[in-house]
Structure formats: C-alpha cells, structure tokens
Structure 1
Amino acid sequence: MINATNLMNMKIEHLEERITDYKESIKGVVDKKVQWNDLIKPLLHKTLKEITVQYELGWRVQELNWIHNNEALNISFDSFPKDLIDCTNQIPAFQFIPGGALVFSQTYSGDVFIFILFPEIDSLPTENNITEIGLFNPIDITEKLVIEKVDEFLKEMIQWELPNKPRKLGFSQSS
C-alpha cells in the first residue's frame, strides 16, 4: 500500500526531471546567445559589409538593439544607387522609396529569425510588409547562408518593384 509520504516522494522525484530539463533549456539559450555575440554577429556584420562595399546599391548595414537585450543586424536600402542617378533625370517626378531590409534578429531563445521588411508606402496597406524567411539555430548561420538570404532578399525586392500582378494604389484587390 502506498502511503502519503511515498506518494509525495514520487511527485517530487518527478519534478527533479523537469527541473533538470529546465536548467538545460536555460543553458541552451545562454549557449546560443554566446554564439550570437562571439561568432554570428561578427560574421553577419563582416559579410553584409563586404556585400555593400562590393556592390554599391545605396544600401547600408545597421546594428540594432531591440527590447530585452535582443539584437539584430540588417542590410537595407538607404539611398538610390549612384550609378543610376542619371536615369532618374528622365522622369523628374521619380521618387526613390527607401527601406526594404533583410533582418537577422536574435530571438529571446537565442535562435536567429530572418525576415524581409518591404518599404512602406503611405497609400498601400501594410499587412504584406514582411516576409518571414525562417528561424535558424545560430550554428547554422554561415557566410554561404547569409549570401543566399541576400540573394533571396534581392529577388523579393525585384518582385516588389516589378510585381507580376499590377497593384492599384488606394484600392484593395479581392481575389
């Protein structure tokens, strides 16, 4: 027969397993945040900076500190590409819309969330202003992956600039 003391010990022993799991989960988060600080953030900064220097498109690299010590790095379109300035003279009313960013953001759990932000236009709804690329363990972030995501970002920006379906400013289109 199980008495109350044995029953209580069984319940407490069960908690020990959860406590161990919880401690391991916290250690995992700390390990990912250390990887972000020591390896991933410098890799992102170096790779994105090299891209902006090699390919002058009027973009820049930014480091951001988000709420609760979460950090992010992004590459964003900041100004019109210098070598295309002459073509804008053909259309005096042309206005470059800055924005559009590929963001590598550290989450609360230490993983890296990658997403694209599109430029904001006052007359367009903002519900489709973000495209989620994915959530990655910091150990999976490599120079190759960063370059692939910049390529994906450029494809998305080209699609944004020259969409297959025409957008009517100020009108919502129903499917």
Structure 2
Amino acid sequence: MENISELTQQYTTVLQKVQERRECWRARSKPFLIQFLTGVTQQHKLNWKAGANELMLGLEAVYLVFDHEPSGIVEQSPFSVVQKMKIGGFLSFSQTRNGQIIVWISYPFIDGMTDEKPRTDMLETIEPEEITEENVTRYIQKFLEEIIEWENNARDEIGFVRHRKPGNGH
C-alpha cells in the first residue's frame, strides 16, 4: 500500500504541474510570444507575420510564418499556364497535452512539385516559463538560418512526381 500512496501523490503532483504550465502559457507565455513575434515582423520587414492557432484550447500554438508567394516556377501546357506557389515555412511554439511547449520549424515547399509532406524539425521541448526574449530570439535566428539554407540548397527538389510517366521507371 505504501507504494500506491507514493504513486498517487506523484500523480497528483504531475497533474498540478500540467495545470501550472497551462496557466503560465495562458497568462504570460502566449501573450508575450504574440507581442514579441509581432514586434519582430514589424521591425524586420520580410514577407512574414505572427499569428496564433487557438482552435483547440490546451493545444494552442503561436507562430511566425512566411506568406505564400510565387516560386518563379511556371507549369505550361497547350491549355494553361500555372504559377507554382512557394508555401511559407514557419516557426511554431506549440502547446503539448501536458502543457509543455514544442518549438519546431516547418520548411517551405513548392506546391504541387512533390507528393511528400513538407519537412519539419523539432528544435526543443521547453517549459512555458522558458519562453523568454533571449530564448525566442535564439529560435528566430535558428529559423532564419534554416530558411536561408533551404533557399540556397537544391537537394530536396528531386523527384517531380507529377511529371513522371507510368511505367518508364523514372
């Protein structure tokens, strides 16, 4: 019975920590992120914006996202000309089910060029109270470095799946 008592106390403590994380996110971390990221987009003029996904309370996210824009790739046929769009890329601070925050990047992609999902990288899992100006600045720098690398690197542009002909093995 002693072991059960210890485990029930441990579980109660864990549940309390989840509630503390959610309250910290709601009261401090989320408003700070929205304000700070909005300030960054206003100070540093790029085709980006800050926003929040609040569809699921307790699983919210605040993000910095590049707007969709023409990629410079145009698909031509005898009947149409289609401008391929580059779909943003974003840095997200996403709440998990236990109230911790996952910081992650979704890379840009050219719509309709491959059948694969956009690449994502998780940077870190942190506590809501670790969302500070210093840490967020570090994540934004990492995000921009990764986006610059993506723009400069052609490795993931292989395999224009839509243009393959069935049965020719290419």
- State whether TM-score is above 0.5: yes
Q: Distance in 2 between matches of 1:38 and 1:67?
A: 17
CA contact (8 A) 2:108 2:118 kept: no
Aligned equivalent of 2:39, options 38, 45, 50: 50
Provide the TM-score with structure 2 as the length reference. 0.78
Cα distance 1:140–1:95, how it changes in 2: closer, same or farther (>3 A)? same
Aligned equivalent of 1:136, options 123, 126, 136: 126
| Structure 1 residue 162, shift from structure 2 partner | 1.1
Q: How does 1:78-93 map to 2 (within 5 A)?
A: 78-79=67-68
Moved over 6 A (4+): none
The AA in structure 1 aligned to 2:64 is: I
Q: How does 1:153-168 map to 2 (within 5 A)?
A: 153-163=143-153, 165=155, 167-168=157-158
Q: Distance in 2 between matches of 1:27 and 1:61?
A: 31
Cα distance 1:57–1:79, how it changes in 2: closer, same or farther (>3 A)? farther
The percent of aligned pairs where both chains have the same amino acid is 25
The residue that corresponds to 1:6 in the other structure is: none
How many residue pairs get aligned? The number is: 152
The AA in structure 1 aligned to 2:59 is: N
Aligned equivalent of 1:69, options 58, 63, 80: 58
Q: How does 1:1-175 map to 2 (within 5 A)?
A: 12-67=1-56, 69-79=58-68, 97-120=86-109, 121-126=111-116, 129-163=119-153, 165=155, 167-170=157-160
Q: CA RMSD in A?
A: 2.5
Structure with greater proportional helix content: 1
Q: Distance in 2 between matches of 1:105 and 1:49?
A: 17
